[in-house]
Structure 1
Amino acid sequence: MLISTHPTFLLINNCKTSKQLQQVHAQATTRGLMSLYPSLILTKILYTFSLLDHLTTTSPHYPLRIFNQIPNPSTFCYNTIIRVYTLLSSPLSALSLFAKMRRLCIPPDTHTFPFVLKASVRLRALALAKTLHSQVVKFGFGSDLFVLNSLIHVYSDLGSMTDACQLFDVTPQRDVVSYNSIIHGFVKAGNTSRARDIFDEMLVRDDVTWGTLLAGYAQMNQCKEAIQLFNQMLASGLKPNNIALVSALSACAQLGALDQGKIIHNHIEQNQIRLDAFLATGLVDMYAKCGCIDLAREVFESSEEKKLFTWNAMIVGLAMHGDGELSLEYFRRMKEAGIKPDGVSFLGVLVGCSHAGLVNEAQQLFNDMECVYGLPRELKHYGCMADLLGRAGLIKEAIRMIQGMPMEGDVFVWGGLLGGCSIHGNVEVAEIAAKHIMQLDPEDGGVYSIMASIYAHARRWEDVAKIRRLMDARRVNKSAGCSSIQLGGVTHEFVAGERLHPQIDEIYWVLDGIQRQVFESY
């Protein structure tokens, strides 16, 4: 009987967990098989272990014990254990095993270097990657496409685009992986223009190619380009992967492109794509930012897989819509589901409390951040509390909180206080807040306008004139307001004071008619 057909080998092939492998290992030992075929059985167990789905959550001790029992381990054995430790996020152990391999003069092969190169990426060690590159050349693997692609990916991931491009340019037979690696590097560096140039050069693209560039556009807030690329991908007949779908949804959310977002949602449903936590979060975020909070809730409730970021998207979305009570309810539900909130969770629910005027609830949550959950308060949390207290007219409490902060306040913290002073007409504290904002951001025209308004309401006309003169002297201009609306799949943008829209005359004609009807009704 061939050893490969032995029942023990068949059992090893069927193992799905580390525990099952250990049971088969124990049976082989007790039945004496380990003394007959130690290398074959242990190597098979080690290799099967490296393929387990849950490998990343497994203890690293068992595979090393297997490896240490193998007499005279081969290059294949070393490759396998190095791969295991790389996947276990133990790059130092992986590199230590490679060093031991070299000391014992066990020759590496084309599978060895991709594993150790990935370990160097985990350590963010560019110098080490270059040393390994020299080893690649030394052992004659400098023309192997598998190894070259690994090197291009390493240099790209570590931000050394000069080295990546040099290697990419001299690679004689590039494949889609070569192109994807270099595109990934430029996207990571924020150079989507160069990434697009390389993308356009490609004759063959896969879903990773499209998804990588789409993610780059979304991250760089190039939302129109992201949506155009997504539609181009659909037109090409290639089905987008989840990265592409999430990136396109993010672009729709940032742009407020509801119609396009619904098209993506329909594509997900029609193609029966499983709504994992990332897709569900993307849909919740898109619908919330496009003003459809009820649809956001429908997606959230129908999603079977809810991660922390999914809950956060729902809580923040409700807060954006001013529904503080419901935001608090979802926050409580999240904790009941056993999910520990993070800083984003608290920021979302604090914003909801601020918009709903829930002062007591917000103060309790703010205290719980550090006392109960051990989460450090950041400037954005203090800014939210300053806004909430200011809106509620608790100006003295707000300024005491700011003065007791462990760090200096930023424009958002002082801006929240200034907004409260504007509502309640507290000129003295407004002057303190405005002074700090002007020091932090002298070109912010908004603070001058707010102070002019506060002075005007207090009938301090000399101070109003003083603010105007100060704006002129510092050449500060208030940023023009800008809004956008999507109609029939087309986004229309309007900037205050401009008349650039092609239908501006018709728009003003309608607005004038509405204004006349309003006055006539009175």
Structure 2
Amino acid sequence: MNQFKEAIELFDQMVGLDICPDNIALVSALSACAQLGELEKGKTIHNFIEQKGIKKDAFLSTGLVDLYAKCGCIETAMEIFESSHEKALFTWNAMLTGLAMHGHCQLLLDYFSRMVKNRVQPDGVTFLAVLVGCSHAGLIDEARLLFEVMEGTYGVPRELKHYGCMADLLGRAGLIREAMKMIEDMPMGGDLFVWGGLLGGCRIHGDVEIAEKAAERVMEISPKDGGVYSILANIYANAKRWDDLGKIRRLRDCMRVKKNAGCSLIRLDGVIHEFVAGDSLHPRTEEIYLALNGIGQHQLEAL
């Protein structure tokens, strides 16, 4: 699972052996490219499809839409979507998800309206994409309405991921009490993302009381999650509650919490390199630093 690089390498081996990949292999390779952000490789596969005259069924069209949408090429994704003769639910979802990821909220709502008018029955993925888009754009009323009608009007049950998205949206907007009430009224217990979304809102708006309740829940679910201790410490520091700040730091040290290092990817000479924050062991560290800071070789020589 999640062996995206290996999937692309295997696809290249197939082509190198003159084994013509079927649509399942093509979709799998496109999906791997989308997950890794390998846009150029995805374009190569797209060109292969065009050159071979391979018929684009709903699955292959969806793979292409997903690739370009996730990589930020929204206009190309839209062109492929519109030209697709077969638009299944998952094709619509791929387009909606890409629009949500890149903050095109008005387009997202327009496509959702078209989807409903075309009598395509939405599912949980559909509503998650639309709610995420509303969250990014701060469209509280629109999100509330969609969240309210998704079960009664569309027959789509609310899942933890939908509650988590709403907790994040309401928390960011400063509607901490409303978010807390929603969580308390949930038919199931909140998970890490639900309580984490609320905690994030408390950090933004400095609500210490509810932050402590949310943090307690997060610690119960994932006691060694370093993020919750850092967020709570930040909230205490902003509130000048130095005694509580000391306590949470001691608790963090006692639990031997480790902070997960951030991981980034960068392309150099057509090759994707992966490194973590503060990494100085990568053999091309200097080139990565220069590339990230937009410094070319001619600029380096002038320094």
Task: Give 2:21's aligned amino acid.
Answer: P
State yes or no: 1:418 paired with 2:209. no
SS of residue paired to 1:388: helix
Q: Determine the structure 2 residue equivalent to 1:208.
A: none
Per chain length, whose mean CA-contact separation is higher, i.e. which structure has more relative contact order (CA < 8 Å, sep 6+)?
A: 2
Match of 2:121 in 1: 340
Using the alignment, how far apart are the partners of 1:388 and 1:511 within structure 2? 31
Q: So what's the TM-score if we normalise by structure 2?
A: 0.93
2:188 to 407, 423, 443: 407
Structure 2 residue 250 is matched with structure 1 residue 503: no
Give the fraction of aligned pairs with identical amino acids, expressed as a percent.
68
Alignment partner, residue 251 of structure 1: 32
Partner of 2:53: 272
Q: Where does 1:335-484 land on structure 2 (aligned, <5 Å)?
A: 335-484=116-265
> How far, CA to CA, are the matches of 2:44 and 2:287 in structure 1?
30
Contact map agreement 2:33 2:42 (CA 8 A) in 1: yes
1:510, 1:361 → 2: CA distance?
41
One-letter amino acid of the counterpart of residue 235, structure 1: G
Using the alignment, how far apart are the partners of 1:256 and 1:510 within structure 2?
A: 17
SS of residue matched to 1:484: strand
Q: Determine whether 1:330 maps to 2:118.
A: no
Q: CA deviation at 1:462?
A: 2.3
Q: Which residue of 1 aligns with 2:99?
A: 318
8 Å contact kept, 2:266–2:288:
no
Are residue 300 (structure 1) and residue 81 (structure 2) matched? yes
Residues in 2 aligned to 1:279 and 1:235: alpha-carbon distance in whole angstroms: 21
Distance 1:338 1:512 in 2: 48
Q: Secondary structure at the match of 1:423?
A: helix
Report how far residue 428 of structure 1 moved.
Answer: 1.0
Q: Distance in 1 between matches of 2:90 and 2:233?
A: 41
Structure 1 counterpart of 2:285, one-letter code: I
Question: Rg bigger for which structure?
Answer: 1
Cα deviation for residue 459 of structure 1 reads 1.9
**Residues 319, 395 of structure 1: CA spacing in aligned structure 2 closer, same or farther, 3 A cutoff?**
same
Per-residue deviation, 1:497 = 2.0
Q: In the superposition, relative to structure 1, how do residues 304 and 511 fare at CA in structure 2: closer, same or farther (>3 Å)?
A: closer
Q: How far did 1:509 drift?
A: 5.8
The 2-side partners of 1:349 and 1:395 are apart by 21
Aligned equivalent of 1:74: none
Q: Deviations over 1:117-140 (max 9, x none)?
A: xxxxxxxxxxxxxxxxxxxxxxxx
**What is the distance in 2 between the residues matched to 1:423 and 1:275?**
46
| Residue among 50, 62, 68 paired with 1:287 | 68
Give, in whole Å, the separation in 1 of the partners of 2:151 and 2:293: 54
Contact 2:122–2:156 under 8 Å retained in 1: no
Alpha-carbon distance in structure 1 between the residues aligned to 2:233 and 2:75? 40
Q: What is the CA distance between 1:336 and its match in structure 2?
A: 1.0
Q: Distance in 2 between matches of 1:350 and 1:509?
A: 38
CA displacement 1:218-265 (0-9 Å, x = unmatched): xx1111110000001001111100000001011111111111111111
What amino acid is the match of 2:107?
L
On the 8 A contact 2:150/2:158 being kept in 1, the answer is yes
Kindly provide the amino acid, as one letter, of the partner of residue 348 in structure 1. Answer: A
Partner of 2:298: none
Partner of 1:486: 267
Two-structure CA RMSD over aligned residues (Å)? 1.6
2:300 is matched with which residue?
A: none
SS of residue matched to 1:494: strand
Residues 492 and 509 of structure 1: CA distance in aligned 2, closer, same or farther (over 3 Å): closer
**Aligned residue in 2 for 1:202:** none
Matches within 5 A, 1:146-161: none
1:261–1:286 CA contact under 8 A, matched in 2: yes
Letter in 2 for 1:233: M
Q: Which amino acid aligns with 1:397?
A: E
Give me the whole-angstrom Cα distance separating, in 2, the residues matched to 1:282 and 1:465. Answer: 50
Q: Deviations over 1:94-114 (max 9, x none)?
A: xxxxxxxxxxxxxxxxxxxxx
- Farther-moved stretch of structure 1 (352-361 vs 418-427): 418-427
SS at match of 2:274: strand
Per-residue deviation, 1:486: 2.7
Where do 5+ consecutive residues of structure 1 fail to align?
1-219, 515-522
Whole-angstrom CA distance in 1 between matches of 2:268 and 2:96:
28
Q: In the alignment, is the contact (CA less than 8 A) between 2:34 and 2:68 conserved in 1?
A: yes
Deviation at 1:446?
0.9
8 Å Cα contact 1:325-1:353 kept in structure 2 = no
CA distance in 2, matches of 1:311, 1:281: 8
Structure 2, unmatched stretches of 5+, are: 296-303
Amino acid at match of 1:358: L
Aligned partners of 1:354 and 1:387 also within 8 Å: yes
Q: Does structure 2 conserve the Cα–Cα contact (< 8 Å) formed by 1:351 and 1:384?
A: yes
8 Å contact 1:260–1:489 — kept in the other structure?
no
User: Offset at 1:385?
Assistant: 0.6
State the 1:508 CA deviation: 4.0
